[in-house]
Amino acid sequence: MNIREIENLIVEKLQQNFSDFQVIGFPEKPQEYILLHPIGAILVHYRGGSYSSTNSINFLSQDKKMEFGVTVVTRNLRSNSGSYETLDKIKNILCGYKIAGCTKLTPTKENFISEQNGIWQYEILFTLTTPSIEEMEEI
């Protein structure tokens, strides 16, 4: 399973549960992103990964721990569709979500990003692990 496929599955899972929000992959040019949705947006992106060590001599097989960020952009902080409630709901929906070929999504951290003109941004991070196996060459 590649990065884009995993990100798309996370977006789809959130879209199923947040019909009143815009749920998309993180914009290509985030500095140009403007919240136009009347309630808010949920933006998903891959933050990076790390690989386990391997003691293999002839065949490489590792675990790849991948981190995905879910950014919440809302027009308020504490109401029913505010940042706090949205973060909690995302955690409940994605915590334990199992994507084929990967371990379950595990929440790891939440962060305040910014507030500007009443637009609040928070991020919640999740990790999962997937196998990273050397492709064998045919001889």
Q: What is the pLDDT of residue 128?
A: 97
User: Could you report the per-residue pLDDT of 34-78, keeping only the tens digit for each?
Assistant: 888 999 999 999 999 988 887 667 767 788 999 999 999 999 999
Q: Where are the domains of the chain?
A: 3-51+63-133
* pLDDT, greater one: 50 or 83: 83
Q: For the stretch 57-91, what's the b/e string if a residue is b when 16 or more beta carbons lie within 10 angstroms of its beta carbon?
A: eeeeebbbbbbbbbbbbbbbeeeebbbebbbebbe
CA dist 100 and 96 (Å) reads: 12
Average the pLDDT over each of 14-18, 78-82, 95-99, 112-116 and give the range with the smallest value: 78-82
Q: Is the pLDDT of residue 139 over 70?
A: no
Identify whether the C-beta of residue 22 lies closer than 8 Å to the C-beta of residue 42: yes
What is the fold of 3-51+63-133? Answer: STM4215-like (3.30.2000)
pLDDT of 2 reads 93
What is the mean pLDDT of the segment spanning 91-103?
A: 97
Mean confidence (pLDDT) of the chain: 91
Average pLDDT score over residue span 18-25: 95
